[in-house]
Amino acid sequence: MIPAVGASLGEAWRLASRRIDRLDARLLLEHVCGCRHADLIAHPERPLSAAQAAEFEALVARRAGGEPLAYLVGSVWFGDLAFRVTPAVLIPRPDTEVLVELAVERAQAFASPRIVDLGTGSGIVAISLARRCPDAQVTATDVSAAALDVARANAIRHGAAVRFVEGDWFVPLGDERFDLVVSNPPYVVEGDPHLQLNGLPFEPRGALTDGIAGGDGLACIRRIVASAPAHLRAGGWLLMEHGYDQAVEVRGLLVAAGFLAVDSWRDNAGIERVSGGRWPGA
């Protein structure tokens, strides 16, 4: 327990560090008290108010119960931007940065590229692309209205002009075509023990898996690959994030669908994390 009355910053940090990771304890304390790391170092004797102590205690208990830090503080960094997150959206992973990098490189070949991000969640991919490709027209879809609320708030926060539309994958887009289709769809195999670890039980299951028990996790990727040709302009690219062991299969799907220049790219951990190809006819 953190003493509710009269506890100092230093004492609260020390006691919490016995129950949760020391860095997480610090970040929760900074969140509750609106202070910085430097304040904790320079003024460890500063007292918490009774309300701050109670809020800190509650958050430490939730973190000890496995809730992800990002949901407790309501924010996470992706690239050089801080994004709002709630349990309605998957917590952005650094793995996804390679998807953004690859999309930015490809967008540069088009004068005013039309880009769509399918299953945008918190909006990190669409918003990062809109900021880094100022001439692009960026659209983002998601089947979850609650996720789109989070994404819209993030777009406003970062001054990104993104058009958000609610619906499943390409469904709400009619017959629109794009130069770049990007997605970080659900791809963890339903039943994978990983789903029980590292806070994943607190994340929206529909953002992690296709829900098909005994499947291979690729149902959403198959749907996207099957529909993409009707939504790509000649010479446009499809880029999708996938699981650590899915690159060979995803390349197979892309080749079978008629994509050219099919390839996979590694994330910062050295894992083949994104695969994609170019629709012919440029």
Residue 184 Cβ, how far from ligand GLN at the closest point, in Å?
Answer: 5
Judge contact between 260 and 278, C-beta under 8 A.
yes
Buried b (16+ CB within 10 A) or exposed e, 247-276: bebbbebbeebebeebbbbebeeeebbbbb
Structure tokens at 56: 């800190």
Residue 196 Cβ, how far from ligand GLN at the closest point, in Å?
Answer: 12
Residue 197 Cβ, how far from ligand GLN at the closest point, in Å?
Answer: 9
Residue 267 Cβ, how far from ligand GLN at the closest point, in Å?
Answer: 9
Q: Which is nearer to ligand GLN, 30 or 101 (CB)?
A: 101
Q: Which is nearer to ligand GLN, 30 or 95 (CB)?
A: 95
Q: Which is nearer to ligand GLN, 25 or 189 (CB)?
A: 189
CA distance 113 to 127: 15
Residues 79, 118, 86, 145, Cα dihedral to 10°: 150
- Residue 68, CA distances (Å) to 21, 87, 115, 201, 216 in order: 12, 10, 31, 10, 26
Q: Which is nearer to ligand GLN, 39 or 95 (CB)?
A: 95
Q: Which is nearer to ligand GLN, 88 or 208 (CB)?
A: 208
Q: Which is nearer to ligand GLN, 42 or 197 (CB)?
A: 197
Judge contact between 47 and 7, C-beta under 8 A.
yes
Among 83, 153, 155, 76, CA closest to 117: 155
- Residue 86, CA distances (Å) to 47, 67, 184, 260 in order: 29, 12, 18, 38
Among 121, 120, 95, 119, CA closest to 203: 121
Residue 268 Cβ, how far from ligand GLN at the closest point, in Å?
Answer: 13
Instruction: Provide the binding-site residues for ligand GLN, judged by CB under 6 A.
Output: 93, 95, 184, 186-188, 200, 208, 241
Residue 276 Cβ, how far from ligand GLN at the closest point, in Å?
Answer: 15
Q: Which is nearer to ligand GLN, 33 or 200 (CB)?
A: 200
Residue 55 Cβ, how far from ligand GLN at the closest point, in Å?
Answer: 28
